[in-house]
């Protein structure tokens, strides 16, 4: 840190009154250049001096004017941490207490792997738009296997690329680069709101938005084929597949569903919890928004599937040597929660056995939407069932679905699964 110049030395007193421009105030020769100060109010309410230094009087005077302008607008920080130190505080004090665990884990990952290694030592108040642009360009060109030591962490006999001098050119995708930039922008935006920074250097940079990788959802005929296969094989996850296809439940919502949230007599299910694996911990937590916490009616196929699931679980409980009563609808043979990744594997296997295209589990929500669109359900009702936060998301689905083709397949579905 630059030393604070003395304010009452002979040198200062001698130069006071000679060689200064009108209104220049506290600008004076110091060491091999010039120094200046402005009285400011810090973010914690203290009144103190903020110093500026330059090699020439003009350079120092310009900085002095900027300090005056900043002091008039509001609090001014007199000490600035490194970007790394600020990001760690932001993660601990803002992100973790306020955001969902999965979101917080994502922010922490982008900070640790993509931002700090290159920009971490930069002083927060010295970060410029040019710095952010240089970092982002470098990120696009850097092999992440080399940068993160992925190959080096393998056992010596298993190393095959970067650790043995054969760079694999594992570059970050445009999506990853944009997400890293979005994380930095969010962090600097918080610094602006806390009046630590006057502007957000990341927000001033324009970053192109990569195209979404669109996966074609199942047709209703494919969904019918998939469910028929799972039912014939008595797949233990059959009822879960029915719920994600017929009600559009997310993977975490299905796995976090409790029997306490299911009323088979009233044919109703309340979706208010989800199961997630975050940073090595399995979390059973509330859904993100109040709109997600909704009571949904159970159609016939759902009620039938859940009653069968209840019988299967009772049988498994009686047969198990040790049973953990978790209250979940979908469990392992010993009553433990189903791991989200294991559910993905079961779903992929079920796709192969049914002879249908493999799609990610979350894509099945669009198939559910296709069913609702085919029935000419009003968009607002579809929005409520799928628990979209914005009607624009629902309308986007309407624009992609061929109602005529879907309605024909839907009639076939109703006959097969009635």
Residue matched to tokens 């962090």: 187
Report pLDDT digits (tens) over 151-168: 999 998 899 999 999 999
Count H helices and E strands in the chain, helices first.
18, 8
Q: What is the pLDDT of residue 384?
A: 67
For the chain, the average pLDDT equals 83
Is 166 exposed, middle or buried, given 0-12, 13-18 or 19+ CB atoms closer than 10 A?
A: exposed
CB 275 within 8 A of CB 337: yes
* Closest-CA residue to 329 (of 288, 366, 275, 287): 275
Instruction: Give residue 1's pLDDT band: very low, low, confident or very high (50, 70, 90).
Output: very low
**Count of all residues that appear for the chain in the document:** 418
Q: What is the pLDDT of residue 18?
A: 41
Where b means 16+ CB within 10 Å and e means fewer, 347-359 reads: beebbeebebeeb
Report pLDDT digits (tens) over 256-267: 999 999 999 988
Q: What is the pLDDT of residue 170?
A: 93
Report pLDDT digits (tens) over 84-134: 999 999 999 999 999 989 899 999 999 999 999 999 999 998 999 999 999
Q: Which residue has the higher pLDDT, 270 or 211?
A: 270
pTM (2 d.p.): 0.70
**Strand, helix or coil for residue 78:** coil
Question: Does the pLDDT of residue 2 top 70, yes or no?
Answer: no
Question: Does the pLDDT of residue 20 top 50, yes or no?
Answer: no
Instruction: Give residue 408's pLDDT band: very low, low, confident or very high (50, 70, 90).
Output: low
Instruction: Give residue 406's pLDDT band: very low, low, confident or very high (50, 70, 90).
Output: very low
CB 283 within 8 A of CB 276: yes
Question: Does the pLDDT of residue 61 top 60, yes or no?
Answer: yes
Q: What is the pLDDT of residue 353?
A: 96
Instruction: Give residue 4's pLDDT band: very low, low, confident or very high (50, 70, 90).
Output: low
Q: Which residue has the higher pLDDT, 402 or 304?
A: 304
Q: Which domains does the chain have, with CATH numbers?
A: 24-73 (no CATH), 83-193 (no CATH), 220-417 (1.10.443.10)
Q: What is the pLDDT of residue 8?
A: 41
């Amino acid at each position: 840190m630059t030393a604070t110049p003395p304010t009452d030395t002979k040198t200062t007193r001698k130069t006071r009154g000679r060689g200064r421009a009108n209104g220049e105030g506290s600008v004076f020769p110091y060491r091999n250049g010039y120094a200046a100060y402005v009285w400011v109010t810090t973010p914690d309410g203290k009144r103190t001096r903020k110093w500026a230094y330059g090699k020439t009087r003009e350079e120092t005077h310009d900085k002095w004017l900027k300090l005056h302008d900043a002091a008039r607008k509001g609090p001014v920080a007199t000490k600035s941490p490194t970007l790394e130190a600020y990001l760690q505080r932001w993660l601990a004090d803002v992100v973790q207490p306020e955001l969902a665990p999965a979101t917080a884990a994502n922010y922490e990952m982008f900070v640790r792997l993509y931002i700090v290694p290159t920009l971490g030592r930069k002083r927060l108040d010295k970060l410029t738009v040019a710095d952010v642009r240089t970092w982002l360009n470098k990120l696009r060109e850097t092999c992440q296997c080399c940068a993160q030591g992925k190959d080096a962490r393998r056992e010596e006999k298993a190393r095959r690329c970067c650790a043995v001098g054969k760079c694999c050119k594992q570059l970050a995708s445009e999506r990853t680069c944009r997400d890293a930039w979005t994380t930095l922008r969010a962090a600097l935006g918080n610094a602006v709101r806390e009046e630590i920074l006057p502007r957000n250097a990341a927000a001033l940079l324009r970053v192109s938005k990569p195209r979404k990788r669109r996966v074609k959802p199942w047709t209703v005929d494919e969904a019918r084929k998939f469910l028929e296969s799972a039912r014939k094989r008595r797949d233990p996850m059959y009822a879960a597949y029915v719920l994600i296809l017929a009600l559009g439940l997310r993977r975490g919502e299905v796995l976090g569903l409790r029997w306490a949230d299911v009323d088979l007599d009233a044919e109703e299910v309340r979706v208010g919890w989800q199961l997630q694996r975050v940073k090595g911990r399995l979390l059973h937590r509330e859904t993100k928004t109040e709109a997600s916490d909704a009571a949904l009616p159970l159609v016939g196929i759902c009620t039938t599937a859940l009653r069968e699931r209840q019988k299967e679980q009772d049988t498994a409980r009686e047969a198990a040597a040790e049973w953990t009563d978790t209250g979940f609808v979908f469990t392992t043979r010993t009553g433990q929660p189903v791991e989200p990744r294991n559910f993905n594997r079961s779903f992929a296997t079920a796709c192969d056995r049914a002879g249908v295209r493999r799609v990610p589990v979350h894509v099945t929500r669009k198939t559910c939407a296709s069913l609702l669109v085919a029935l000419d359900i009003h968009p607002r009702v579809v929005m409520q069932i799928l628990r979209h936060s914005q009607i624009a998301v629902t309308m986007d689905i309407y624009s992609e679905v061929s109602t005529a083709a879907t309605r024909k397949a839907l009639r076939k579905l109703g006959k097969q699964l009635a």
